[in-house]
């Protein structure tokens, strides 16, 4: 930690996609998801310490570019993230993200990281954390509706955190389900591909909806879902993009991350402003009960909040320090006299932007 904060003049620690993949593989993805869930639990418990605001969103015909800043007074984080469903047809990511972590006292960035992988991890860990409090006890079967980029991370987070053993897959595109099946079959999970959403939800204790279309869709209708299950609805995450039949919301106890943002972006954008929801941190802090009976339908209307990215970035920073090795990016000028910025032009060296740092 002290290395990052105390010696910003050496450069900005950088986590590339390959470095992130290497780190995840080294720790083990299920361990990462489990540790991240613990960190999220800790940070949701200190919810009031975060300086929160709904994210900044620049909408365009094909998508949205968002900035998600948050601070706990000591560290500041911001994620840049887009959402462009049609990117899939250009062989580009629907969601391309990266993040920055800064030291509030100096304003200096202390880490820049890819967040394509990290967003998938934190989204899955958040889903698992919420389900830990809201899903029926002894849940073993998870249904995944929408088998895109997030699905394997969901499956493994629920396995690591809740002990899920059975996965039921459904996607309107069979190839997506086959892809998830192939990836998950070697992970110690019993995986089934289903032919419809209705078939997929049979026997499920937990259902994750995570589809990508930017429209008001009805992936699940009310008649398909019995009481007693936990719905993890994470695909509806921007204005005009929802997945659930509003009747389902009416039947359920609905939990959200940060109410002002979810009213704009979540499933509850379909409902009136007075539709009752519960912020999840209140469940962790025992200010309100979570699931109260086996017969209750619970819904997590997850849209992704900046504090989750904060938690994930701090976790990765600590993991990097523990690993004792990271790259440094030549992003901030480092002249001896801060006022002599002009001197940087006279001391231009060989064009070396990333160096490898070995930490004692």
Cβ-based nearer residue to a second copy, 23 or 283: 23
Q: 199 and 212 in contact (C-beta within 8 Å)?
A: no
Element spanning 5, H or E: helix 2-6
Q: Which is nearer to a second copy, 118 or 299 (CB)?
A: 118
> Among residues 37 and 82, whose Cβ is nearest to a second copy?
82
Between 120 and 249, name the residue whose CB sits nearer to a second copy.
120
Beta carbons within 8 Å of 339's beta carbon, 6+ residues apart: none
Q: Which is nearer to a second copy, 140 or 183 (CB)?
A: 183
Q: Which of 145, 144, 146, 149 is nearest to 91 (CA)?
A: 149
Tell me which residue of 131, 175, 132, 181 sits closest to 152, measured CA to CA: 181
Output 172 or 224, the one with its CB closest to a second copy: 172
* Residue 299 near residue 234 (C-beta atoms within 8 A): no
Whether the CA torsion 13, 17, 23, 28 is positive or negative: it is positive
Residue 237 catalytic? Answer: yes
3-class secondary-structure state, position 317: helix
Residues in the chain: 360
SS3 48: helix
Quickly tell me which residue has 């999970």 as its tokens.
189
CB 342 to a second copy: min, Å: 4
Q: Answer whether 299's CB lies under 8 Å from 254's CB.
A: yes
φ and ψ of 312, to 5 deg: -65, -40
In angstroms, give the least distance from the CB of 171 to a second copy. 9
Shortest Cβ 134–a second copy spacing (Å): 26
Which residue, 69 or 290, is less far from a second copy as judged by CB? 69
CB 140 to a second copy: min, Å: 22
Q: How many beta carbons lie within 10 A of that of residue 209, not counting itself?
A: 25
CB of 52 vs a second copy, minimal distance in Å: 11
Q: Which helix (H) or strand (E) holds 220?
A: strand 216-220
Helix, strand, coil share (%) of the chain residues, nearest 5: 40, 25, 35
CB of 250: closest distance to a second copy in angstroms?
Answer: 32
Beta pairing class for 63-71 and 56-60? antiparallel
Transcribe 320-358 into DSSP letters: HHHHTEEEEE--S---SSTT-TTHHHHT------EEEEE
CB of 108 to a second copy, least distance (A): 6
Question: What is the three-class DSSP state of 287?
Answer: coil
Q: 237, 245, 301, 309: which is the annotated catalytic residue?
A: 237
Give catalytic residues, as residue numbers: 237
């Amino acid at each position: 930690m002290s290395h990052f904060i105390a010696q910003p003049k050496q450069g900005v620690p950088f986590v590339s996609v390959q470095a992130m993949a290497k780190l995840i593989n080294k720790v083990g993805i299920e361990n990462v998801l489990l540790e991240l869930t613990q960190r999220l639990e800790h940070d949701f418990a200190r919810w009031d310490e975060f300086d929160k605001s709904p994210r900044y969103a620049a909408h365009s015909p094909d998508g949205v570019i968002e900035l998600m800043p948050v601070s706990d007074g000591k560290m500041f984080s911001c994620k840049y993230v887009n959402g462009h469903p049609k990117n899939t047809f250009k062989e580009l990511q629907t969601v391309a993200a990266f993040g920055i972590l800064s030291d509030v006292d100096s304003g200096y960035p202390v880490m820049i990281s890819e967040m394509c992988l990290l967003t998938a991890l934190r989204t899955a860990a958040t889903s698992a954390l919420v389900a830990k409090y809201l899903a029926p006890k002894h849940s073993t079967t998870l249904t995944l509706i929408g088998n895109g980029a997030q699905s394997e991370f969901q499956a493994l987070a629920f396995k690591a955190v809740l002990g899920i053993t059975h996965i039921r897959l459904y996607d309107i595109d069979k190839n997506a389900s086959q892809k998830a099946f192939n990836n998950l079959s070697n992970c110690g999970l019993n995986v089934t591909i289903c032919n419809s959403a209705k078939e997929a939800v049979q026997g499920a204790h937990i259902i994750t909806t995570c589809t990508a279309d930017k429209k008001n869709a009805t992936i699940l209708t009310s008649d398909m879902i019995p009481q007693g299950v936990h719905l993890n609805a994470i695909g509806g995450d921007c204005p005009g993009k929802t997945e659930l039949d509003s009747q389902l919301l009416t039947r359920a106890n609905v939990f959200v991350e940060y109410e002002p943002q979810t009213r704009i972006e979540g499933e509850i954008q379909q409902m009136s402003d007075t539709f009752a929801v519960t912020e999840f941190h209140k469940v962790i802090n025992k200010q309100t009960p979570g699931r109260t009976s086996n017969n209750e339908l619970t819904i997590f209307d997850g849209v992704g909040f900046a504090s989750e990215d904060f938690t994930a970035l701090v976790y990765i920073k600590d993991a990097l320090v523990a690993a004792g090795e990271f790259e440094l990016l030549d992003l901030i000028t480092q002249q001896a006299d801060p006022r002599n910025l002009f001197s940087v032009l006279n001391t231009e060296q060989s064009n070396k932007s990333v160096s490898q740092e070995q930490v004692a």
